[in-house]
Copies of this chain bind each other. A is one copy, B any other.
Amino acid sequence: MNQMDAARSGKYTEEMEIVAKSENVDIEFIREGVAKGTIVIPKNKLRDRANICGIGKGLDIKVNALFGTSSDREQMPMEARKLKIAEEAGCHSFMDLSTGGDIDGMRKQSLSLATVAMGGVPIYQAGVEAIEKKGNLIAMTSDDIFETIEKQAADGLDFMAIHCALNFDIIHTLQRTGRVTDVVSRGGSFLTGWMLQNEKENPLYAEFDRLLKIMKAYDVVLSIGDAIRPGATADSLDEAQIKGLMVAGELTKRALEQGVQVMIEGPGHVPLNHIRNTIELQKKLCHNVPYYILGFLATDIAPGYDNITGAIGGAYAGLYGADFLCYLTPAEHLGLPNEEDVRTGVISTRIAAEAVNIARKREHVLKRQFNISRARVENDVQGQIDNAVYPDKYKNSLENINQQSDIQDEAMQVAAKYFMIG
C-alpha cells in the first residue's frame, strides 16, 4: 500500500512515524496531510534508505540539491563526491539531472550512495537517447518517454519532475504574447520543440493517466515540472505562466483523485513584489499541494552570485508558503557547479530555510536561535559551536575573536552589571 492510500484508509506508515518524530508533530497531523495532499513523503516502494523526510504544510521547509553528468563532463566520481558534500551540508534530497555519459550508471551510483530522497527528470534521458539512437530529438516516441519513466521508477527514484502541464494552448499563448526569455526549462524546450515539429500534443499531458499508473505503482512523488517558467523577472506572472499553473492544477486534481502524491515545481526568476502573489496563486490553483521552487531568483543581473539571489527569493517564498527550495549555486547561469559550488549552494539555501523555519515558529529552530544568542551574551564558545548551523567559520575565527575583546568588553561589562541576564 502506498503512502496516500494508507493515509486515506486511516493507517499510519513507518514513514509517517519517522516524519512525525523528526518534525515533532503528531502522526495524525502527518496522516491527514498526506491524505489531503498537503504533505508528500518521497519514498519509492523499491528503495530503502536511511533518511526519510516529509515536505509540505506545517513542516520545516526542505532543501534540494542538483547535480549529474553532462555529455562533456562524464565525471561519475566527482558527482559522487558532490552527493556526499551536499548531504554533509544538510540537503534533504537531491536530483540527478544527468544528460550525458552513462546516465543509467550515474543514477544507480547515486541511488546506492544517497541516504536522502532522490529525484530525476526522465525526459532528459529520453531526449538524449533519441538524439543518440535516432539522430534527433523529434524522433522520440511517446513510448520512449514512458518507458524511460518506468525504468527510472523501477530503479528507485523517489520523485520525478515531469513536464505534463504543457499543451498547445499554452504554447499558442506564448507565441501570441511573446516573452523576454521564451522557454528556459530544458524539459520544456525538449517538449515544445517535439510538439511543434511533430504537430502532436505533449504525451505527458495527453496520456496523463498512463503517467499516474507508473507513479502509483512505485509510489513516486509526481513533481509537475514548470515547463514554461519565467527565465527573467520581466516574464514573471505572464499569461503563459498562469495558464501553466491552471493546467498543473487540473492535473493535480486528477493525481489526487488517483491517490498519487504530487507537488508543483515553480520558477525561476521572480521579482520580490511577485513572490507572495506567485505562492498564493499556486496554493489556490493547485489545491494546496506542496510548492517546490527553483529559487526564486530575485534579480537577473547577478550571475556568479545566484546562491544569494536565490536565498533572498527562497526565504521570502517560504514565508508565504513555499515548501521545498531547490538550491542555487554560484555557478547558475555560468556552467555546471563544482564541488565548492555545491557546498555553497546547499549552505546558502539552508540559511534561507532556517530563516523561514523561525518565521514559522518551528520549536526546535527557535530553541537553537535562543541558545546561540544566549551563548553570545555569555561568551560561551561551545554553545555557539553547538547551535551554529555551520560552525566551521566560527571555529576558525576563535583566535581573532579573543584578540579583540578589550574596549567592547569593557563597555559591555559596565552595562551588563546593571542587567539581569535573560
Contacts and interface: CB of A to CB of B under 8 A. Distances in A.
Interface string A377-408: 10000001001111111100100110110111
Copies in the complex: 2
Of residues A180, A302, A390, which shows the largest number of chain B Cβ atoms within 10 Å of its Cβ?
A302
B272 A358 contact: yes
A352 interface: yes
A366 B273 CA distance: 13
Contacts of A299: 351, 354-355, 358, 369, 389
Contact of A175 (B175, B351, B419): B419
Interface stretch (A26-34, A37-45, A50-58, A181-189): A181-189
A303 B394 contact: yes
Contacts of A351: 299, 302, 305, 308-309, 312
A335 B393 CA distance: 11
Interface string A222-237: 0000000001111100
A339 interface: no
A420 B178 CA distance: 7
| Residues of A contacting B: mostly | helix
A393 B329 CA distance: 13
Interface stretch (A68-76, A114-122, A285-293): A68-76
Nearest to A419: B182
Contacts of A73: 403-404
A128 B407 contact: yes
A272 B315 contact: yes
Interface in A352-366: 352, 354-356, 358-359, 366
A420 B173 CA distance: 12
B183 A419 contact: yes
Contacts of A319: 272-273, 316
Of residues A174, A197, A273, A368, which shows the largest number of chain B Cβ atoms within 10 Å of its Cβ?
A273
B137 A301 contact: no
Interface in A257-313: 269, 271-273, 298-305, 307-309, 311-313
Contacts of A113: none
Given A302-B390, A304-B392, A393-B305, A234 B418 contact: no
Given A234-B373, A311-B311, A397-B331, A406 B71 contact: yes
Interface stretch (A79-87, A144-152, A409-417): A409-417
A422 B235 CA distance: 10
Interface residues of A, number: 109
A351 B301 CA distance: 8
A64 interface: no
A193 interface: yes
Of residues A131, A331, A410, A416, which shows the largest number of chain B Cβ atoms within 10 Å of its Cβ?
A410
Contacts of A301: 354, 368-369, 372, 387-389
Interface of A: 70-73, 99-100, 127-128, 131, 137-138, 171, 174-175, 178-183, 186, 188-190, 192-194, 196-197, 231-235, 269, 271-273, 298-305, 307-309, 311-313, 315-316, 318-319, 330-331, 333-336, 347-348, 351-352, 354-356, 358-359, 366, 368-370, 372-374, 376-377, 384, 387-394, 397, 400-401, 403-404, 406-408, 410-412, 414-422
Given A315-B298, A389-B301, A422-B180, A336 B414 contact: no
A138 B389 CA distance: 39
Nearest to A401: B335
Nearest to A421: B182
Contacts of A305: 347-348, 351, 390, 393
Contact of A308 (B197, B348, B412): B348
